[in-house]
């Protein structure tokens, strides 16, 4: 995957954001390749990861935690259910919002994926010091916080 082209006159921060988008795409493709034979994608792996931390959640809570849409997570949960990696069970607190939980097969596949993730991450981080990783993590966290806290102004209607 080719990195984004820097356009003359673009603010440096805009170039950084384009690089983060590029990295996100690269990581997603790499994750897909790493776990494809397990019946997972990066997105499915991420949802299983959310369930590994907080088991038996409604789809809306998973979506909130992953900062995704409920519809997107519902589609992924449906795929995971068809594969036998999650099961839906009644929610005693809400009739329509079923709880999603990992099945034993889901746990097995998640552990296999996680066991691949460690060595892959070490390879990807080769040449980076712990200080480098800490600084990048802090900067990305600060950017994420600033973006989350931005009060979007009303934008004019699209004239088209």
Residue 44: CATH number of its domain: 1.10.10.10
Could you tell me the pLDDT band of residue 153, with boundaries at 50, 70 and 90? confident
Model confidence over 78-124: pLDDT tens digits? 999 999 999 999 988 887 889 999 999 999 999 999 999 999 999 99
- Paired residues of 86 in beta bridges: 102
> pTM for this structure?
0.83
Average predicted confidence (pLDDT) for the chain: 91
Q: Is the residue at 129 inside a domain?
A: no
The sign one gets for the Cα dihedral 107, 48, 88, 77 is: negative
Q: Is the residue at 72 inside a domain?
A: yes
Could you tell me the pLDDT band of residue 154, with boundaries at 50, 70 and 90? confident
Q: Residue 51 is part of which domain span?
A: 33-106
Model confidence over 7-39: pLDDT tens digits? 677 788 888 888 899 999 999 999 999 999 999
Q: Is the residue at 18 inside a domain?
A: no
Q: Is the residue at 127 inside a domain?
A: no
- pLDDT at residue 5 in the model: 67
Q: Is the residue at 131 inside a domain?
A: no
- pLDDT at residue 47 in the model: 97
Q: Other C-beta atoms within 10 Å of 42: how many?
A: 19
Q: Is the residue at 52 inside a domain?
A: yes
On whether the CB atoms of residues 52 and 102 are closer than 8 A, the answer is yes
Number of domains in the chain: 1
Residue 145 has pLDDT above 80, yes or no: yes
């Amino acid at each position: 995957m080719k990195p984004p082209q820097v356009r003359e006159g673009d603010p440096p921060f805009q170039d950084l954001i384009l690089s983060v988008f590029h990295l996100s795409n690269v990581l997603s493709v790499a994750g897909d390749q790493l776990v494809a034979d397990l019946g997972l994608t990066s997105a499915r792996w991420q949802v299983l990861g959310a369930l590994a931390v907080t088991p038996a959640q409604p789809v809306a809570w998973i979506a909130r935690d992953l900062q995704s849409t409920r519809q997107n997570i519902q589609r992924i949960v449906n795929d995971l259910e068809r594969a036998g990696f999650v099961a839906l069970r009644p929610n005693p607190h809400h009739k329509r919002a079923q709880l999603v939980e990992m099945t034993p097969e889901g746990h097995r596949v998640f552990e296999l994926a996680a066991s691949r993730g460690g060595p892959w991450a070490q390879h990807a981080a080769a040449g980076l010091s712990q200080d480098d990783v800490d600084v990048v993590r802090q900067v990305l966290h600060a950017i994420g916080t600033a973006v989350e806290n931005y009060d979007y102004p009303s934008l004019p209607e699209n004239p088209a």
